[in-house]
Homo-oligomer: A and B are copies of this chain.
Amino acid sequence: MPQEKSFHMTPDEFRRHGHAVVDWIADYQSRIESFPVLSQVKPGQLRASLPVNPPAEGEPFDTLLKDVDQLILPGVTHWQSPNWFAYFPCNASGPGILGDLLASGLGVQGMLWSTSPACTELETHVMDWLVGMLGLPQKFLSSSTGGGVIQDTASSAVLCALLAARERASGYTTNKKGGNGRLVAYASTQTHSSLEKAAMIAGIGTDNLRLIEVDEKFAMKPDALAHQVDADRKAGLIPCFVCATVGTTSSNAMDPVRAIGEVCQKNDLWLHVDAAMSGTAMVCLEFRHLQDGVDLADSYNFNPHKWMGANFDCSCFWVADRKALIQTLSILPEYLRNQATESGAVIDYRDWHIQLGRRFRSLKLWFVIRHYGIEGLQHNVREHVRLAQEFADWVKSDDRFELAAPVPLNLICFRHKGGDATNQSIMDRLNKSGDLCLTHTKLNGSLTLRLSVGQMNTKARHVERAWQLIREEANRLG
């Protein structure tokens, strides 16, 4: 019999090319500080270097890797650089990358328990581990009334929380009848924009999203929340959902979860706690006071892909009442029916999120937790917090600068006293230099620089150099 023609990579070819890619990444990690952190390309530059048409015939793998080096790299902004202080970090740790690679290699679909039992059970197991690791309430355990699921991002998680709240408050009728424009959701003015997007998607409407005022620390005022809920009830509307943030994106403000939770309990509102960035810090006992009251939450979310090193995407979401979530998102066509599901003895995660299909995401999270151990994860957090606190002290001791918000953990919001244009100029010049990358926000109407210490390879010398470069810019301004 003649050999059938095949275009597939054989296992041996995969081995050879795979080693080359691993080497490429190891080299990239070694030389990452040699690149400008923020890509310096102009719009359209990469596209202009690519062929207009796809190749008619296959190309050798070496060509692909060479193009990554020559064409792609200049267009990369280096989120994995230790000089990355922008937005929040998005850490790709070694064990995370390799756990994810295994997930790609196994290539399983975890939509149902039966389509790969290990994919479901490892996820449940790791999510239960994290309940203890982060000091979350026991009701989030799979052995209790709740349970955890890995989602892609905090945006999807808050959407699922809002949907479950919507259904619970409407007696599970919105799924059937559609929205009625009367359900109301609440968050602070500082809440992440993903909630606004979720209110749009879920048919709640942004007119029915109340952004509650904040105090001088940019934390939600529980009294203002209670007042608004009362007013909405009196107006014939149906309050259903509150999002409290443990560490806002803008300034890392900490909403008072317990006081907000008490308002929720009194009014039968779903309380979602968004700790996307700061949740990782809860591996350290000394930071758990920042989420005091989390036992009142109906759902909770944090992103291990931010500060814990389980590379994107990996967003952990727990609910206290899994039935509410499943009743909200469940569909069961004939072609997905199977004995394990019918028995009720297993979890089918496709009913816990928007998508049907799902990757074996728990592998990378399991690898990260086991590689670092609790000790290593605590060390990472404490080091970053220590460096950020030092940076805050330097800001305070320089008369030209001021802190613009408290620094509870690892984000410093600060500004030059020279006004918006000065701060914009400092940021733009630093980012254009390629030496580091930082971003901005607005607080009390003023442009404010954000320096986020969280990239896992960021050490004292990087933070010290950042401060030195910022001061040099200030010196230049006179």
Complex Cα distance A125/B411, Å? Answer: 36
Number of copies: 2
A 385-416 to B, binary, CB cutoff 8 A, 1 in contact else 0: 00000000000000000000000000000000
Q: Which residues of B contact A18 (CB under 8 A)?
A: 19, 22, 25-26, 97-98, 101
Chain B nearest Cβ from A472, distance in angstroms: 23
If over half of A's interface residues share one DSSP class (helix, strand or loop), that class is named, otherwise mixed; here it is: helix
The 4 A-B residue pairs with the shortest CB-CB distance, nearest first, are: A203-B203, A179-B179, A9-B94, A75-B118
Interface assignment of A359: CB less than 8 Å from any CB of chain B = yes
Most buried by B among A55, A79, A192: A55
Q: Which residues of B contact A50 (CB under 8 A)?
A: 122, 125
Complex Cα distance A334/B446, Å? Answer: 11
Complex Cα distance A175/B109, Å? Answer: 33
Complex Cα distance A207/B177, Å? Answer: 6
Chain B nearest Cβ from A355, distance in angstroms: 4
- Contact stretch, chosen from A219-227, A262-270, A285-293, A436-444: A436-444
Complex Cα distance A68/B13, Å? Answer: 23
Interface assignment of A91: CB less than 8 Å from any CB of chain B = yes
Interface assignment of A419: CB less than 8 Å from any CB of chain B = no
Interface assignment of A379: CB less than 8 Å from any CB of chain B = yes
Q: Which residues of B contact A15 (CB under 8 A)?
A: 22-23, 26
- Name the one of B129, B312, B354 contacting A201, with C-beta atoms under 8 angstroms: B354
Chain B nearest Cβ from A328, distance in angstroms: 8
Most buried by B among A58, A124, A311, A439: A58
Interface assignment of A102: CB less than 8 Å from any CB of chain B = yes
Interface assignment of A450: CB less than 8 Å from any CB of chain B = yes
A 78-102 to B, binary, CB cutoff 8 A, 1 in contact else 0: 1110000001001111111111111
A 111-154 to B, binary, CB cutoff 8 A, 1 in contact else 0: 00111111101101100011011000000000000000000111
Interface assignment of A171: CB less than 8 Å from any CB of chain B = no
Contacting residues of chain A (311-363) with chain B, CB-CB under 8 angstroms: 311-313, 328-329, 331-336, 340, 343, 345-346, 354-357, 359, 363
- Name the one of B78, B163, B250 contacting A334, with C-beta atoms under 8 angstroms: B250
Pair B75/A367 contact, Cβ less than 8 Å:
no
Pair A102/B178 contact, Cβ less than 8 Å:
no
Q: Which residues of B contact A12 (CB under 8 A)?
A: 26
Interface assignment of A215: CB less than 8 Å from any CB of chain B = no
Contacting residues of chain A (155-199) with chain B, CB-CB under 8 angstroms: 155-156, 159, 163, 166, 174-183, 192-194, 196-197
Complex Cα distance A311/B102, Å? Answer: 12
- Name the one of B56, B117, B125 contacting A373, with C-beta atoms under 8 angstroms: B56
Interface assignment of A54: CB less than 8 Å from any CB of chain B = yes
Chain B nearest Cβ from A73, distance in angstroms: 8
Interface assignment of A53: CB less than 8 Å from any CB of chain B = yes
Complex Cα distance A166/B78, Å? Answer: 38
Pair A371/B197 contact, Cβ less than 8 Å:
no
Interface assignment of A216: CB less than 8 Å from any CB of chain B = no
Q: Which residues of B contact A257 (CB under 8 A)?
A: none
Pair B9/A95 contact, Cβ less than 8 Å:
yes
Contacting residues of chain A (50-77) with chain B, CB-CB under 8 angstroms: 50, 53-59, 61, 63-64, 68, 71-77
Complex Cα distance A13/B97, Å? Answer: 13
